[in-house]
Amino acid sequence: MSDKRGQRKVLTGTVVSDKMDKSVVVRVERTVRHRVYKKYIRRHKRYHAHDPKNECKVGDIVQIVESRPLSRTKRWRVMKTLVKAA
């Protein structure tokens, strides 16, 4: 059997929207190397994450963990807040 079974993906990103009830939008940045020019480029993706206590605010740096589908767009849950926004 594979070692990956039972392990969930964990990503770190910044909360960019908290307008929904019990949900936040988290922007996760990563760096990729350009195939031709070998230069590193920043890429980002937005994930909808479940925040059951509405604790997260815009600007917080949070860790999100993969989960079962919670709605049409939500497949992640907020695991913990690393840095609170000023």
> Is 3 within the bounds of a domain?
no
In a domain, 2, yes or no: no
Quick check: is 28 in a domain?
yes
> Which pLDDT band holds residue 86 (cuts at 50, 70, 90)?
confident
How many domains does the chain fold into?
1
Q: Is residue 54 part of a domain?
A: yes
Residue 5 lies in a domain: no
pLDDT tens digit sequence for 2-46: 566 678 999 999 999 999 999 999 999 999 999 999 999 999 999
What pLDDT does 39 receive? 97
62/78 Cα distance (integer angstroms):
7
The amino acid occupying position 28 is V
Residue 35 belongs to domain with CATH number: 2.40.50.140
Contact 26, 64 (CB under 8 A): yes
| Whether this model's pTM surpasses 0.95 | no
Q: How confident is the model at residue 67 (pLDDT cuts 50, 70, 90)?
A: very high
pLDDT score at 3: 62
Q: Which domain does 63 fall in, by range?
A: 10-83
- According to the 3-state scheme, what is the secondary structure of 3-24? CCCCCCCEEEEEEEECCCCCEE
Q: What pLDDT is stored for residue 6 in this prediction?
A: 78
Q: Establish if 76 belongs to a structural domain.
A: yes
